[in-house]
Amino acid sequence: MTTTWVAELADALGPDSVLTDPDVAASYARDQAVLAEAGTPAAVVFPRSTAEVVAVLQIAARHGVPVVPRGAGSGLVGASNAVDGGITMVMTRMDAVLEVSPADRLAVVQPGVVNKALRDAVGAAGLFYPPDPASYDWCTLGGNLAMNSGGLCCVKYGVTTDYVLGLEVVLADGRVLRTGRRTVKGVAGYDLTRLFVGSEGTLGVITEATLALRPAPAADPVTLVATFATSAQTGQVVESVVTSGVVPSMLEVMDRTCIRAVDDMLRADLDRDAQALLVARSDAGGAAALDEIAELTRLCEAAGADLVHSTADPAEGDLLLAARRAALPALERLGDVLLDDVAVPRSRVATFIDGCDAISAQYDLVIGVMGHAGDGNMHPTIVFDGSDADQRARAVAAFDAILELGLSLGGTITGEHGVGTLKADWLEREIGPVSADVHRSIKDALDPSGLLNPGKVLRRRPSATA
Amino acid sequence: MTTTWVAELADALGPDSVLTDPDVAASYARDQAVLAEAGTPAAVVFPRSTAEVVAVLQIAARHGVPVVPRGAGSGLVGASNAVDGGITMVMTRMDAVLEVSPADRLAVVQPGVVNKALRDAVGAAGLFYPPDPASYDWCTLGGNLAMNSGGLCCVKYGVTTDYVLGLEVVLADGRVLRTGRRTVKGVAGYDLTRLFVGSEGTLGVITEATLALRPAPAADPVTLVATFATSAQTGQVVESVVTSGVVPSMLEVMDRTCIRAVDDMLRADLDRDAQALLVARSDAGGAAALDEIAELTRLCEAAGADLVHSTADPAEGDLLLAARRAALPALERLGDVLLDDVAVPRSRVATFIDGCDAISAQYDLVIGVMGHAGDGNMHPTIVFDGSDADQRARAVAAFDAILELGLSLGGTITGEHGVGTLKADWLEREIGPVSADVHRSIKDALDPSGLLNPGKVLRRRPSATA
**CATH for B25:** 3.30.43.10
Q: Which of B70, B90, B110 is the last residue of a domain?
A: B90
- pLDDT value of residue A1: 62
C-beta of residue B280 within 8 angstroms of C-beta of residue B247: no
Query: Which residue does chain A place closest to B162, by CA atoms?
Result: A162
Query: Is residue B175 situated within a structural domain?
Result: yes
**Cβ contact, residue pair B194, A194, below 8 Å:** yes
**Cβ contact, residue pair B185, A439, below 8 Å:** no
Beta strands in A75-128 (DSSP E): 87-90, 97-101, 106-109, 127-128
At residue B122, the 3 state secondary structure works out as helix
Percentage with pLDDT > 90 across chain B: 94
Say yes or no: B232 and B85 in one domain: no
**Cβ contact, residue pair B181, A102, below 8 Å:** no
Cα four-point dihedral sign B384, B388, B389, B391: negative
Name the stretches of chain A with pLDDT < 50. 463-466
**Cβ contact, residue pair A171, B434, below 8 Å:** yes
Query: Is residue A48 situated within a structural domain?
Result: yes
Say yes or no: B108 and B242 in one domain: no
Say yes or no: B154 and B271 in one domain: no
Indicate if the pLDDT at residue B463 is higher than 50.
no
pLDDT tens per residue, range B188-235: 999 999 999 999 999 999 999 999 999 999 888 999 999 999 999 999
Q: How far apart are CA A461 and CA A77, in angstroms?
A: 21
Distance from CA of B353 to the nearest CA of A (A): 16
- pLDDT value of residue A78: 97
Query: Is residue B195 situated within a structural domain?
Result: yes
Q: How far apart are CA A423 and CA A70, in angstroms?
A: 18
**Cβ contact, residue pair B187, A419, below 8 Å:** yes
Chain B contact probe: residue of A178, A184, A372, A435 with most B CBs at under 10 A: A184
**Cβ contact, residue pair B345, A197, below 8 Å:** no
**From B185, B288, B434, residue closest to A150, measured CB to CB:** B185
Domain with B434, as residue range(s), is 424-465
**From B126, B415, B419, residue closest to A245, measured CB to CB:** B126
Distance from CA of A31 to the nearest CA of B (A): 18
How many helices (H) and strands (E) chain B has is answered by 16, 19
Say yes or no: B280 and B312 in one domain: yes
Distance from CA of A5 to the nearest CA of B (A): 26
Q: Which of A88, A366, A114, A106 is nearest to A214 (CA)?
A: A106
Q: How far apart are CA B352 and CA B76, in angstroms?
A: 21
**Cβ contact, residue pair A343, B150, below 8 Å:** no
Domain tally, chain A? 4
Indicate if the pLDDT at residue B464 is higher than 70.
no
Say yes or no: A102 and A228 in one domain: no
Backbone angles phi, psi at B256, to 5 degrees: -60, -40
Indicate if the pLDDT at residue B32 is higher than 50.
yes
Backbone angles phi, psi at B449, to 5 degrees: -90, -5
Distance from CA of A20 to the nearest CA of B (A): 32
Chain A positions touching B194 (Cβ under 8 A) are 161, 191, 194-195
Average pLDDT, chain B: 95
**Cβ contact, residue pair B182, A345, below 8 Å:** yes
For B226, which DSSP code?
E
Say yes or no: B208 and B348 in one domain: no
C-beta of residue B334 within 8 angstroms of C-beta of residue B258: no
**Cβ contact, residue pair A190, B198, below 8 Å:** yes
Distance from CA of A439 to the nearest CA of B (A): 7
Say yes or no: B281 and B366 in one domain: yes
Q: How far apart are CA A128 and CA A197, in angstroms?
A: 20
Confidence of residue B113 (pLDDT cuts 50, 70, 90): very high
Q: Which residues of A112-134 are buried (b: 16+ CB within 10 A; e: fewer)?
A: bbbbbbbbebbeeeebbbbbbbb
Chain A contact probe: residue of B154, B187, B203, B431 with most A CBs at under 10 A: B187
Q: Which of A222, A204, A244 is nearest to A89 (CA)?
A: A204
**Cβ contact, residue pair A435, B199, below 8 Å:** no
**Encoded amino acid at B372, one letter:** H
ipTM over the 0.90 cut-off: yes
Chain B contact probe: residue of A153, A163, A185 with most B CBs at under 10 A: A185
Q: Which of B165, B184, B215 is the last residue of a domain?
A: B215
**Cβ contact, residue pair A187, B194, below 8 Å:** no
Say yes or no: B81 and B113 in one domain: no
Query: Exposed, middle or buried by CB within 10 Å (0-12, 13-18, 19+), for A324?
Result: buried
**Cβ contact, residue pair B181, A343, below 8 Å:** yes
Say yes or no: A334 and A429 in one domain: no
**Cβ contact, residue pair A198, B187, below 8 Å:** yes
The alpha carbon of residue A360 and the mean position of all alpha carbons in its chain are separated, in whole angstroms, by 24
pLDDT tens per residue, range A244-289: 999 999 999 999 999 999 999 999 899 999 999 999 999 999 989 9
**Encoded amino acid at B38, one letter:** A
Cα four-point dihedral sign A200, A203, A207, A211: negative
**Cβ neighbours, 10 Å, residue A331:** 25
Confidence of residue B168 (pLDDT cuts 50, 70, 90): very high
**Cβ contact, residue pair B195, A197, below 8 Å:** no
| Widest distance between CA atoms in chain B | 70
**Cβ contact, residue pair B410, A126, below 8 Å:** no
Query: Exposed, middle or buried by CB within 10 Å (0-12, 13-18, 19+), for B182?
Result: buried
**Cβ contact, residue pair B239, A414, below 8 Å:** no
Say yes or no: B15 and B159 in one domain: no
**From A177, A242, A412, residue closest to B434, measured CB to CB:** A177
Say yes or no: A192 and A318 in one domain: no
Query: Is residue A259 situated within a structural domain?
Result: yes
Q: How far apart are CA A336 and CA A388, in angstroms?
A: 11
Q: How far apart are CA A122 and CA A130, in angstroms?
A: 11
Supply the Cα-derived Rg of chain B in whole angstroms. 23
Query: Which residue does chain A place closest to B199, by CA atoms?
Result: A190
**Cβ contact, residue pair A178, B126, below 8 Å:** no
- pLDDT value of residue A461: 61
Chain B positions touching A235 (Cβ under 8 A) are none
Query: Is residue A457 situated within a structural domain?
Result: no
C-beta of residue A131 within 8 angstroms of C-beta of residue A154: yes
- In angstroms, the Cα distances linking A98 to A47, A49, A425, B150 are 17, 13, 39, 30
Confidence of residue B465 (pLDDT cuts 50, 70, 90): very low
C-beta of residue B320 within 8 angstroms of C-beta of residue B268: no
> Rounded to the nearest 5 degrees, what angle is found at the Cα of A324, between the Cα atoms of A320 and A325?
110
Q: Which of B215, B236, B257 is the last residue of a domain?
A: B215
- In angstroms, the Cα distances linking B236 to A69, A285, A446, B257, B461 are 43, 27, 43, 20, 43
For A203, which DSSP code?
S
Q: Which of B167, B157, B107, B110 is nearest to B132 (CA)?
A: B157
Distance from CA of B289 to the nearest CA of A (A): 12
Q: How far apart are CA A131 and CA A160, in angstroms?
A: 6
- pLDDT value of residue A465: 38
Say yes or no: A379 and A233 in one domain: yes
What is the full DSSP assignment across B145-206?
HHHT---TTHHHH--GGGGEEEEEEE-TTS-EEEEE-SSS---SS--HHHHHTTSTTSS-EE
Chain A positions touching B177 (Cβ under 8 A) are 434-435, 438
Q: Which residues of A247-283 are buried (b: 16+ CB within 10 A; e: fewer)?
A: bbbbbbbbbbbbbbbbbebeeeebbeebbbbbbbbbb
- pLDDT value of residue B218: 84
- pLDDT value of residue A466: 32
Q: How far apart are CA A352 and CA A202, in angstroms?
A: 31
**From B104, B188, B431, residue closest to A412, measured CB to CB:** B188
Chain B positions touching A217 (Cβ under 8 A) are none
Tell me the Ramachandran region of residue A364: left when phi exceeds 0, alpha when psi lies from -120 to 50, beta otherwise: left
Confidence of residue B1 (pLDDT cuts 50, 70, 90): low
Query: Is residue A414 situated within a structural domain?
Result: no
Q: Which of B451, B405, B178, B198 is nearest to A179 (CA)?
A: B198
C-beta of residue B378 within 8 angstroms of C-beta of residue B348: no
Confidence of residue B387 (pLDDT cuts 50, 70, 90): very high
CATH of the domain at A199: 3.30.465.10
Beta strands in A11-86 (DSSP E): 18-19, 43-45, 67-70
Query: Is residue A153 situated within a structural domain?
Result: yes
Q: Which residues contact B314 (CB under 8 A, 6 or more apart)?
A: B220, B221
- In angstroms, the Cα distances linking B296 to A185, A217, B240, B308, B363 are 22, 18, 9, 10, 36
- pLDDT value of residue B219: 84
Distance from CA of A45 to the nearest CA of B (A): 26
Distance from CA of B272 to the nearest CA of A (A): 30
Q: Which residues of B247-270 are buried (b: 16+ CB within 10 A; e: fewer)?
A: bbbbbbbbbbbbbbbbbebeeeeb
Query: Is residue B50 situated within a structural domain?
Result: yes
Higher pLDDT, B4 or B464: B4
Q: How far apart are CA A42 and CA A21, in angstroms?
A: 9
